[in-house]
C-alpha cells in the first residue's frame, strides 16, 4: 500500500552539499536557513501562533539519498563506517521512505517563510511537515542511547591569517555568521572517520556562496586555508 505526501515547503540552507553538514541539528547554531512555504501554506494562516515557540520539528525527505530498494542494515559513519547496524537503530540518511526529522531553532515567523538556525538540512530539502517543539513531551530527562550518548568530540579549528580576513569579509557581505558557521561545522571533523589525511591533502566545501578550503596539519587539528567566492 503506497501513500502520497507533498512538501509544504523547501529549505533554503547554508549547506550547498551533503559533506560537512553536522550529523544532527543544534551542533552548529550558526547554521541558518529559510524554509520557504508553498501555496496554500504561504499566506500566514498555517503558521499563526507558531511564533510562540522557540523550536520546531521539521519532517523532511533526504532527497539526495533516496533509494528504490530499502536497506535493512547500514554502516553509521559515527561508528567508523565498519560496524553494521539495523537501519531503524540509526539516524542514517539511507532509510525506508527517506524521512528525516530535526528539531531546529525558530528565529522568526513571516507569512510564507520561517527563519531557522541550528539546522542540518541540505539546500533544497523538501519539508513534509512542521510541528511545534513541546518540551514537556519531547524532552525526556534520563533518556539514553548507547550508540550516540554524546555529540562527536570537537577538534581544534585554526585559521590562516588570510582565510580569517576572507571569512569576515564574506560574513559581512552575506550578513551571516560565516566565521562561526565554519568553526562549528569543521570542529565536528567532517572527514570520514577512517581517513587519516596527509597535511598536503586539501578538503573543500560550499557554504552559502563561498568555497571553504582546509587541511589537517596534524590528524587532530584543522587549519582553514581560504574562504573564496564560488565561481559557480
Would you say 93 or 160 has its CB closer to ligand SAM? 93
Q: Do 21 and 120 touch, CB atoms closer than 8 A?
A: yes
Nearest-approach distance from CB 100 to ligand SAM, in angstroms: 4
- Pairing state of beta strands 73-74 and 85-86? antiparallel
Nine-digit cell string for 80:
567508523
Would you say 101 or 139 has its CB closer to ligand SAM? 101
What is the distance between the alpha carbons of residues 106 and 201, in angstroms, rounded to a whole number? 38
Binding mask 189-218 for ligand SAM (x = CB under 6 A): ------------------------------
Q: Any contact of residue 65 with ligand SAM (CB under 6 A)? A: yes
Q: Which of 80, 87, 78, 102 is nearest to 188 (CA)?
A: 78
What is the distance between the alpha carbons of residues 145 and 73, in angstroms, rounded to a whole number? 18
Q: Any contact of residue 63 with ligand SAM (CB under 6 A)? A: yes
Q: Any contact of residue 183 with ligand SAM (CB under 6 A)? A: no
Would you say 102 or 166 has its CB closer to ligand SAM? 102
221-229 sheet: strands from edge to edge: 156-159, 221-229, 210-218, 203-207
Nearest-approach distance from CB 189 to ligand SAM, in angstroms: 12
Q: Do 28 and 118 touch, CB atoms closer than 8 A?
A: yes
**Number of Cβ within a 10 Å radius of residue 28:** 27
Nearest-approach distance from CB 67 to ligand SAM, in angstroms: 11
Nine-digit cell string for 218:
596534524
What is the distance between the alpha carbons of residues 128 and 153, in angstroms, rounded to a whole number? 32
Binding positions for ligand SAM, 19-38, rule CB under 6 A: 21, 23-25
Stretch that binds ligand SAM, among 15-23, 38-46, 170-178, 210-218 (CB under 6 A): 15-23
Q: Any contact of residue 160 with ligand SAM (CB under 6 A)? A: no
Binding positions for ligand SAM, 89-128, rule CB under 6 A: 91, 93, 100-102, 120-122, 125
Nine-digit cell string for 77:
559513519
Q: Any contact of residue 58 with ligand SAM (CB under 6 A)? A: no
Q: Any contact of residue 75 with ligand SAM (CB under 6 A)? A: no
Would you say 123 or 169 has its CB closer to ligand SAM? 123
What is the distance between the alpha carbons of residues 10 and 90, in angstroms, rounded to a whole number? 25
Nearest-approach distance from CB 145 to ligand SAM, in angstroms: 12
What is the distance between the alpha carbons of residues 31 and 44, in angstroms, rounded to a whole number? 24
Sites of contact with ligand SAM (CB under 6 A): 18, 21, 23-25, 62-65, 91, 93, 100-102, 120-122, 125
Amino acid at each position: 500500500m503506497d501513500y502520497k505526501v507533498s512538501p509544504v515547503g523547501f529549505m533554503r540552507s547554508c549547506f550547498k552539499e551533503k559533506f560537512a553538514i553536522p550529523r544532527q541539528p543544534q551542533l552548529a547554531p550558526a547554521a541558518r536557513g529559510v524554509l520557504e512555504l508553498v501555496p496554500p501554506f504561504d499566506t500566514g494562516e498555517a503558521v499563526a501562533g507558531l511564533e510562540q515557540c522557540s523550536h520546531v520539528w521539521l519532517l523532511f525527505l533526504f532527497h539526495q539519498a533516496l533509494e528504490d530498494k530499502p536497506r535493512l542494515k547500514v554502516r553509521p559513519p559515527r561508528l567508523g563506517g565498519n560496524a553494521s547496524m539495523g537501519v531503524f537503530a540509526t539516524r542514517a540518511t539511507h532509510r525506508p521512505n527517506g524521512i528525516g526529522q530535526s528539531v531546529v531553532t525558530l528565529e522568526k515567523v513571516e507569512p510564507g517563510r520561517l527563519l531557522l538556525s541550528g539546522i542540518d538540512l541540505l539546500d533544497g530539502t523538501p519539508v513534509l511537515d512542521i510541528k511545534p517543539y513541546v518540551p514537556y513531551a519531547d524532552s525526556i530527562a534520563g533518556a539514553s542511547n548507547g550508540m550516540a550518548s554524546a555529540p562527536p568530540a570537537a577538534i581544534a579549528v585554526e585559521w590562516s591569517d588570510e582565510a580569517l580576513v576572507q571569512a569576515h569579509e564574506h560574513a559581512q557581505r552575506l550578513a551571516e555568521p560565516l566565521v562561526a558557521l565554519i568553526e562549528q561545522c569543521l570542529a565536528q571533523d567532517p572527514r570520514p572517520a577512517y581517513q587519516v589525511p596527509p597535511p598536503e591533502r586539501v578538503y573543500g566545501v560550499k557554504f552559502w556562496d563561498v568555497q571553504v578550503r582546509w587541511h589537517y596539519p596534524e590528524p587532530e587539528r584543522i587549519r582553514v586555508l581560504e574562504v573564496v567566492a564560488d565561481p559557480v
